Each structure stands twice: as C-alpha cells, then as structure tokens.
Structure 1
Amino acid sequence: MTNLGAKRSDRLHLLDALRGLAALSVVFWHWQHFFLSGPVPETVDRMKLPLYDWFFLFYEHGWLAIDLFFCLSGFVFYWQYSRSVAEGSITSGTFAILRLSRLYPLHVVTLVLVAIGQSVLMHVQGTFFVYEYNDLTHFLLNLLFASSWGIEQGYSFNGPVWSISIEVLLYALFFACCRLLPVRLILLAGISLLGFLIQAIYHVPIGRGVGSFFLGGCVFLIYRQIMA
C-alpha cells in the first residue's frame, strides 16, 4: 500500500507543472498594470496587450490561477502535514515556523522595496502605482500578513500579496481542523462548500481561499484512496 501521507520526499511532478502554469497565468494577468491609462485596472483595453490573440486566455482569465494555487496548497498540505498534525507529532509552533520562515523574509524585503517605489512615484507624479492605500496603517497590516483579512480599506502596496495574506489564515485553519477534527472527505467537502458560499454571498477573499484550499484537500483524499 502506498503511504502518501508519510513520505515527505515524494514529489508529484504534475503539481510542479500546474504551479508553473498558474504562476505564468498570474504574471500575464498583472502585466496589464504596465498599460494603464489611469489608476484603475479596468481602464486597460486588454485586446491591445502584446500578443493578445495568442495569450488571450491568460490576459482575460489569468486571475483564476489564484484559485488553482489555493487548491494545490490544500492538496500538498493534506499530503505532507495532515497525518503529523493529527497525530500531534508536530506542534503549532513548529508548524508556524516551517511555513512562515519560507514566506516572511521575502515578504518583508518586497514590501519595503514596493513602499519605497510607491513613495518615489507619489513624489514624482503625484499618484501611486495601481494600489492607493499606502499609508502607515496598511503598511503594518502588510507587515503582519493581514492585508486582506477584512480590516483593510482596499488593496495596498504590493497588492497581489493578498493571496499570501489569505494563505496564512488557511495555514491556521488547516492546523486547527487536522488537530481537532477527523480528516474525512465529507468534512472537507463541507468546509469547502461553506467557503464558496461565503464568497458567493459576501465576496470576501477568505471564502475564495477556504473553498479552493479544502477542495484541494478533497482531491488529495480521493487520490490517496485511488492509489492505495
């Protein structure tokens, strides 16, 4: 029997390929920011973007790749961590260090560089680049990975980092679910459905993240059952 939940050295190359495709999609989606005629992304005529006929799917729908990222995260987390978290062999502190140590250094460096760039741009031309809420409050929210937790006024500084902000919340929710609840397909499906309902009703990023992340967990459990 293949023990997919225990071997951390295992690697599914299809996941790497999907990550690469998703990353490329996000790059294409945000490329439109360099063709703005004003501070709002909707002012871009996407049909005039470079090689639009070839890459129109990326230009028009690249934002959906974020949902794929959340789904892949759910798959990988349930594959790599669900058993050790459920059995108590990894503490919450160790889990947090493992995850945040991979994200926080680059996050802080990027935030500082973007803050400097936004400040220079405001000084030179009197406007920020795309994201307008670049004050001290939003800087602190970004510093704490809280830029998209519902207490912000809007996108700020490095706007695309909203997905990482949601991902950090998903880490905590994942750990709590694995530690306190049984890892069952029906339970994960219910949490995923709840997330999508929250997104549909309230249009908040956390619903989008929860729905896709736990859907990825469902896919892993189905995959594990098939490969057993």
Structure 2
Amino acid sequence: MPIPTTAPSPPRRPADSSKLSGLEIIRFISAIAVLVWHYQHFYYVAAQPVGFVREDQPFYAALRLFYDYGFSGVQVFWCVSGYIFFWKYGSSIHRKELDFRKFFLFRFSRLYPLHLVTLMLVWAMQGIYFSTHQSYFVYADNDLHHFVLQLFMASDWGFQKGYSFNGPIWSISLEILVYLLFFLTVRTFGPSPLVSLVLVAVGGAAVVTKVAHPVFGCIASFYLGGLTATVSRSAFAKAHQKPVKLLLLTFLTASPVIVLTTGLSESRYIKHLFILLYTPALLYFMAEFFKVPTRIEKTVLMLGNVTYSSYLIHFPIQLATALVCFYLGRPIPAGNPLFFLAFLGFTLGLAVLTYRHFEMPAQAEIRRAWMPKVSARAMRRA
C-alpha cells in the first residue's frame, strides 16, 4: 500500500535530504484515507453490516472525501511505490549492482515479519469470533486453503475465493507480483519511459474494460509512478522547472474543482482517469517543488514509515474491539465521534511503536543474518 505503504524509504542525500519528504506526506494521508474508509467495519456483525448509513459516520461532512473515496488510497500507495522504486532501484538493477537475491531479501525483510504476526493474530481472534457468532468478522474465507495463500503472501493472485484473514493485505499481495515484473523489466530495459508507458496503457485498459484480475490496476499505478520519477529526472524537466511547476499547480488546483462542480465525479471512467492523471502530477509536484522544513523532516519521515504498520494492524484492532464489545455485552459505539478519534489515535500510536520496536528490529535481524556482507548503512537505505 501499503502502501498501501510498502515502498522503501526514499533515498536520503546529504545535499538534498528533503528531496522526497513530500511523498511521505502523501503516503501518510493515503493511510488515513484507508483507515477512514475501513471505519465501516465497526458496523459489521459477522460478515454483514448492520444499520450502516455512510452519512451517519463521525465527522462525515469534514471527511466525506475519505469516507466516499478512501479506497483509492491503495492506488495512490501503488503509485508512490512505483515512483520510489524507479528512483531508488531502477539504475542499480539495470547496471546489475543489485541482484535479485538482495532485492528479494530487502523486500521480504521489510514486509513479511509484520504480515506473519498480524496473520497469526487474526487467525486466533477469528477463531474466537467464529465460536460465538458461527461466522467470521468482515472477511469470511478463513479456511486452510486461504491460510496457505496468506502464508505465501499470495492471497489475491487469483487462487482465492474471496477476502480472508487480514483482508487489507490483498494490495500488498498484488504489489509483490509487480515487484517481480519491475525487476525483470528494469533489468532488461532499464527505467525506460517507453516500457513504463506501455505497461500503464495495458494496465489502464484492463481496468477500464473490467478485466477481472486486479493486478492490472496495480501495474498501471506502479508504472505510472515509475514513469513520473523517470520524467522528473529528465534533462527537459530540469531545464523547464518554472513552467512545469506553474502547469502542475494549475492542474492540481483546477481539475478537482472542474470534476466536482460539473458532476463528472459520478462517472466510473472519469474517476479512474482522474486518479491516473492527478496522482502522478501530485507526486511530481511534491517530490520536486515541495520542501519540508528541516526541523520537522524526521517527523514527516516517521509518518511515512508507519503507513505499512497502520495498514496491517488496523483490522486486527477492529476485530479485537468487536470481541471485547461482545464479551462486555455492548454494541460497538461506531457512531460516537470520541470512539472514532480513539480508533485513529490508538492505531497510529501503536503503528509507531510497532515500527520502532518490531518492524525495524526484525528487518535488521533478517538482513544481518542473510546479507552479512552488506553494510549497515546500505541495509537501512534499502
């Protein structure tokens, strides 16, 4: 998302240490969008919502964009991942400075430890929930077949019957397939704008024509981010920064107004097209022209880094809440604004603790054990 959430930390260069801090802000806002979108889970009893009215959710007027379109945060995560992967790994993979084993271990050590822990937590809690409700909470396909798929992070490769266990992992599952495609295409062609454009077109066409497999949407978004990174580093873009900045500002401010005031936002095709155009423009602007003050850069970096943990822990928190409320004999107070704030605050706070005290230590231990010849500094930057 991982994006959302799953991208490596943006490269940090002494001469330009805040270069991609703007992308961390986008990652964090996208994570909040997903949390708000999934707030509706609190209205579920077993696998169905009960008495759910979208407009009655807390702070709906202020957060309507997230409540109505928060699912698009996943596409933004994919796009950010593409931007950072092309920026960070594109040239080194093509020059064979980074082989597949190291690339795989960098990704495995970043993603798998927390996935495994949250999978086991959800497995245990869903068993308890099923014993009292004769049904699972929200995600219903929690059998051995789907557990094995989850173990291999293959939950949405096409072998599943539906969402299972820690359901939000679906987007990470798809992104893993795209990581493989990324490595193969970049190793063969380099960070080629033409190859990226072709894959964006193929993925976008599949989405618009409703091709069943969701990996095409991930391909389109990921390579769109990669294409944006490649263009931003081109000689033409560097030579025309002022007009590019003006054009981007105009588009970023005017296009949402036009789409919303003309009613175009009601069209499914316009929604897809808007995301495909707006997201890369936003990434380009935030990476190239938005500078984070040095005094808050570490905070911004932390906000970006905890998006993966917030993405994976928020459903276990919701499931645990459902169990506690059931045993207390009380309904989940989903309509209470204080409960909403407590959910967001607790999720983000726990995400910070999880990142600092579990994700990073586990990642470092795996990399030390399996890549002893790689420097500690290189491991942190990967």
TM-score per shorter chain, which class?
over 0.9
SS of equivalent residue, structure 1 residue 157: coil
Counterpart in the other structure of 1:107 = 115
Counterpart in the other structure of 1:4 = none
Counterpart among 53, 66, 69 of residue 45 in structure 1: 53
Counterpart in the other structure of 2:104 = 96
The CA distance in 1 between the partners of 2:50 and 2:188, in whole Å, is 44
Counterpart in the other structure of 2:83 = 75
Counterpart among 230, 238, 244 of residue 227 in structure 1: 238
SS of equivalent residue, structure 2 residue 141: coil
Q: Does 1:8 align with 2:17?
A: no
- Partners of 1:37 and 1:44 within 8 A in 2: no
- Partners of 1:74 and 1:217 within 8 A in 2: yes
SS of equivalent residue, structure 2 residue 109: helix
The CA distance in 1 between the partners of 2:88 and 2:159, in whole Å, is 32
Of the structure 1 ranges 65-74 and 216-225, higher mean CA displacement relative to structure 2 is found in 216-225
**TM-score scaled to structure 2, two decimals?**
0.56
- The answer to which structure, 1 or 2, has the higher relative contact order (CA under 8 A, 6+ apart) is 2
- Partners of 2:203 and 2:220 within 8 A in 1: yes
Structure 1 stretches lacking a partner, 5+ long: 1-6
1:36 Cα deviation after fit: 2.6
The CA distance in 2 between the partners of 1:227 and 1:166, in whole Å, is 33
Of the structure 1 ranges 179-188 and 34-43, higher mean CA displacement relative to structure 2 is found in 34-43
> How well do the aligned residues superpose, as a CA RMSD in angstroms?
1.7
The CA distance in 2 between the partners of 1:191 and 1:53, in whole Å, is 38
* AA partner of residue 205 (structure 1): P
- Partners of 1:37 and 1:43 within 8 A in 2: no
Q: Does 1:27 align with 2:27?
A: no
Counterpart in the other structure of 1:190 = 198
1:41 Cα deviation after fit: 5.5
1:184 Cα deviation after fit: 2.0
Counterpart among 120, 124, 129 of residue 128 in structure 2: 120
* AA partner of residue 12 (structure 2): S
The CA distance in 2 between the partners of 1:227 and 1:114, in whole Å, is 48
Which string of whole-angstrom CA distances, capped at 9 and with x for unpartnered residues, describes residues 105-158 of structure 1? Answer: 000000000011111000011111111000011001001010000111010001
Counterpart in the other structure of 2:306 = none
Number of equivalent positions: 222
Q: Does 1:148 align with 2:156?
A: yes
* AA partner of residue 59 (structure 1): Y
The CA distance in 1 between the partners of 2:223 and 2:140, in whole Å, is 32
Of the structure 1 ranges 194-203 and 83-92, higher mean CA displacement relative to structure 2 is found in 194-203
Q: Does 1:61 align with 2:69?
A: yes
* AA partner of residue 191 (structure 1): L
Structure 2 stretches lacking a partner, 5+ long: 1-9, 14-18, 240-382
* 1:56–1:112 Cα change, 3 Å: same
The CA distance in 2 between the partners of 1:142 and 1:132, in whole Å, is 14
Counterpart in the other structure of 1:205 = 214
**TM-score scaled to structure 1, two decimals?**
0.93
* 1:43–1:68 Cα change, 3 Å: farther
Identity level (%): 37
Counterpart among 80, 87, 93 of residue 85 in structure 1: 93
* 1:51–1:132 Cα change, 3 Å: same
Which string of whole-angstrom CA distances, capped at 9 and with x for unpartnered residues, describes residues 78-108 of structure 1? Answer: 0000001000011100000011101100000
